[in-house]
A and B are shown apart, each in its own frame.
Chain A
Amino acid sequence: AQSVTQLDSHVSVSEGTPVLLRCNYSSSYSPSLFWYVQHPNKGLQLLLKYTSAATLVKGINGFEAEFKKSETSFHLTKPSAHMSDAAEYFCVVTEAPTGTYKYIFGTGTRLKVLA
């Protein structure tokens, strides 16, 4: 069965410094992986997705993530944090089309950006 672990429940960075949000997954098959962002009292917005194409995935708002099969990781990065990046971030895994269609959510990482 697949699962996803977000290694940090809270991350604080200063504005203008790099962001690293960590995600490790477990999957029996070729996974599809996603990062979503949720601002307070809002829905979830897709940042980026990996679906077995390029291992370095570029998303919106300057975010990117690298799929590393050997490390079973899909960490989210951004070179320079902006105040508007403060939000909750969810890593999601699901298996290949022949498997389950269900999203498995990580427990979330709350990103705080300090002025």
Chain B
Amino acid sequence: DTEVTQTPKHLVMGMTNKKSLKCEQHMGHRAMYWYKQKAKKPPELMFVYSYEKLSINESVPSRFSPECPNSSLLNLHLHALQPEDSALYLCASSQTLSVYGYTFGSGTRLTVV
């Protein structure tokens, strides 16, 4: 298995809702990442997990809450989002915090109404 699987592919949520994005990989990778990508822009790093521990939070608002329950799974919990949070959310993984290439998932397209 050489894939990063993200679910759901599309999500529409209201500003008072609570929802979660899920990311799963079975490649034995120990580093996992959340990126946010707005239209016609490059991805922006949000969070980095290394060996299930949060390594980096790029000053992301607390309405985004990451969780890494095990080495294969990464969640992003969403609460009280704003319309400007609408974007493509990408998950990625790599063997470790190395420079030898990430594997990206296909993303979750989030719309906040």
| Chain A interface residues toward B at CB < 8 A | 32, 34, 36, 41-46, 49, 51, 90, 94-97, 101-103, 105-108
Complex contact B45–A103 (CB within 8 A): yes
Given the complex of chains A and B, what is the CA–CA distance between A51 and B95 in angstroms?
15
Contact check, A42 vs B42: say whether CB atoms are below 8 A apart: no
User: Chain B interface: which size bin?
Assistant: 20 to 34
| Chain B residue at minimum C-beta to C-beta distance from A41 | B109
- Cross-chain pair count, CB within 8 angstroms: 52
Residues of A within 8 A of B45 (CB): 102-103
Which of B48, B104, B109 contacts A45, CB < 8 Å? B104
Q: A105-B43, A108-B42 in contact; A43/B101 too (CB < 8 A)?
A: no
Chain A: minimal CB distance from B85 (Å): 18
**Are B100 and A51 touching (Cβ within 8 A)?**
yes
The answer to whether B99 and A46 touch across the interface, beta carbons within 8 angstroms, is no
In the assembled complex, B90 has its CB within 8 A of some CB on chain A: yes
State whether the Cβ of B106 lies closer than 8 Å to any Cβ in chain A.
yes
Residue contact B99 to A96, C-beta cutoff 8 Å: yes
Q: Mark interface residues in B85-104 (1 if CB within 8 Å of A CB, else 0).
A: 00010101000011111111
